[in-house]
């Protein structure tokens, strides 16, 4: 594991205590199964109609996993390197009696067998923690059976540029779309270092891993709004999220 990922893991282990402190509230939200966004439900409708076996890379608190089950998935295996997150997510899933299993592992390099997934699901603050996007895409492709799907709903890479000014959107003077890294100043904090991947780099990594992009879209809505802030950058004029659906074509 590279030193940045090792340090980030410590920050995530600490930050994931939030999932334990807010256990009851998250359990209620998981029971509702409402965490999947409408656009995710639309894009995944056909895939979820086939009762897919899902692998969720960087599964975090796992709310999307019970939502995926309620939306039609046969099973979900979540993979995350935070023992706190994985333990809390497993406890919630067991309490709800949903078919979700959690595996503690650093990614890329999920310790799951090749071809075990009909759908690899990830995002909502995931790709920025991957030190090597090509290896990430190859790992996702390895997990997929032929003709399986990769789905990403993710913060737009331009998000790190936007100030949180409420009067007007502004570009932060300390940020660049093309920087390789940026220090996280929200969650998990703790000096964690994010990697920045452009939309082009994400698409090229997926294509290089022998997948075909079926859909790519950008959205003005952020997937996450830190409490109490109403930034003008989120008022509908700027990209704040993107989705990508890809299909694996051949045996690898
Ligand atoms: C912002 S959370 C998003 C998680 C999930 N998609 C959600 O909505 O809750 C990012 C997660 O990625 C995990 N993570 C970060 N880097 C990782 C790595 N290299 N390997 C495995 N998990 C990682 C963290 O522990 C954290 O749970």
pTM of whole model > 0.95?
Answer: yes
Ligand 1 neighbourhood includes 157 CB (under 6 angstroms): no
The alpha carbon of 190 and the centre of ligand 1 are apart by a number of angstroms equal to 15
**Residue with CA at minimum distance from ligand 1 atom 8:** 124
The alpha carbon of 117 and the centre of ligand 1 are apart by a number of angstroms equal to 19
Chain centroid to Cα 236, Å, comes to 22
* Residue pLDDT, tens place only, 3-33: 999 999 999 999 999 999 999 999 999 999 9
- Range 104-142 burial, b when 16+ CB lie within 10 A, else e: eeebbebebeeebbbbbbbbbbbbbbbbebeebbbbbbb
> Looking at residue 100, what is its pLDDT?
98
> Looking at residue 250, what is its pLDDT?
72
Please identify, by atom number, the ligand 1 atom nearest to the C-alpha of residue 35: 8
The alpha carbon of 217 and the centre of ligand 1 are apart by a number of angstroms equal to 22
* pLDDT surpasses 90 at 37: yes
Ligand 1 neighbourhood includes 149 CB (under 6 angstroms): no
Percent of the chain residues past pLDDT 90, beyond the cut:
95
* Residue pLDDT, tens place only, 194-236: 999 999 999 999 999 999 999 999 999 999 887 778 999 999 9
Span 111-125, average pLDDT: 98
Residue among 114, 48, 108, 105 at smallest CA distance from 78: 105
The alpha carbon of 10 and the centre of ligand 1 are apart by a number of angstroms equal to 12
Span 67-77, average pLDDT: 98
DSSP H helices, 97-248, are 133-143, 199-208
In whole angstroms, give the CA distance from residue 88 to residue 62. Answer: 9
The alpha carbon of 123 and the centre of ligand 1 are apart by a number of angstroms equal to 9
* pLDDT surpasses 60 at 112: yes
Ligand 1 neighbourhood includes 184 CB (under 6 angstroms): no
Instruction: Tell me the sheet residues that pair with 100.
Output: 76
Q: Alpha carbon of 213 to those of 72, 129, 151, 242: distances in Å?
A: 23, 22, 10, 13
Cα maximum dimension of the chain? 52
- Across the chain, mean pLDDT equals 96
Q: Alpha carbon of 76 to those of 113, 121, 163: distances in Å?
A: 14, 9, 36
* Residue pLDDT, tens place only, 137-154: 999 999 999 999 999 999
Residues near 32 by beta carbon (within 8 Å), at least 6 away in sequence: none
Instruction: Tell me the sheet residues that pair with 206.
Output: none
Q: Which of 129, 187, 194 maximizes ligand 1 atoms within 8 Å of its Cβ, making it the mutation to test the pocket? A: 129
> Looking at residue 251, what is its pLDDT?
59
* Residue pLDDT, tens place only, 170-201: 999 999 999 999 999 889 999 999 999 999 99
How close are the terminal C-alpha atoms of the chain, in Å?
A: 25
The alpha carbon of 16 and the centre of ligand 1 are apart by a number of angstroms equal to 10
Provide DSSP, 111-147. SS-TT-EEEEEEESS-GGG-S-HHHHHHHHHHHEEEE
Comparison of pLDDT for 64 and 1, the residue scoring more = 64
């Amino acid at each position: 594991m590279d030193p940045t990922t090792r340090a980030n893991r410590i920050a995530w282990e600490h930050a994931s205590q939030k999932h334990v402190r807010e256990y009851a509230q998250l359990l209620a939200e998981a029971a509702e199964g409402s965490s999947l966004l409408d656009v995710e439900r639309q894009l995944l409708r056909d895939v979820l109609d086939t009762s897919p076996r899902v692998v969720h890379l960087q599964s975090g608190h796992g709310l999307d996993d019970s939502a995926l089950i309620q939306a039609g998935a046969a099973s979900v295996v979540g993979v995350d390197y935070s023992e706190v997150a994985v333990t809390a997510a497993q406890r919630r899933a067991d309490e709800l009696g949903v078919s979700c299993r959690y595996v503690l592992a650093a990614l890329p390099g999920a310790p799951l067998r090749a071809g075990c997934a009909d759908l690899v699901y990830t995002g909502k603050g995931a790709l920025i923690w991957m030190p090597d996007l090509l290896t990430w895409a190859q790992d996702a492709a390895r997990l997929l059976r032929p003709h399986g799907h990769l789905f990403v709903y993710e913060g737009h890479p331009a998000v790190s540029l936007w100030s949180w000014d409420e009067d007007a959107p502004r570009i932060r003077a300390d940020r660049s779309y093309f920087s390789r890294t940026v220090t996280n100043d929200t969650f998990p904090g703790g000096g964690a270092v994010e990697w920045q991947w452009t939309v082009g780099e994400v698409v090229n990594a997926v294509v290089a891993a022998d997948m075909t992009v079926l859909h790519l879209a950008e959205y003005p809505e952020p997937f996450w709004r830190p409490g109490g802030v109403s930034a003008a950058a989120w008022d509908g004029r700027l990209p704040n999220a993107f989705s990508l659906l890809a299909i694996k074509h051949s045996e690898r």
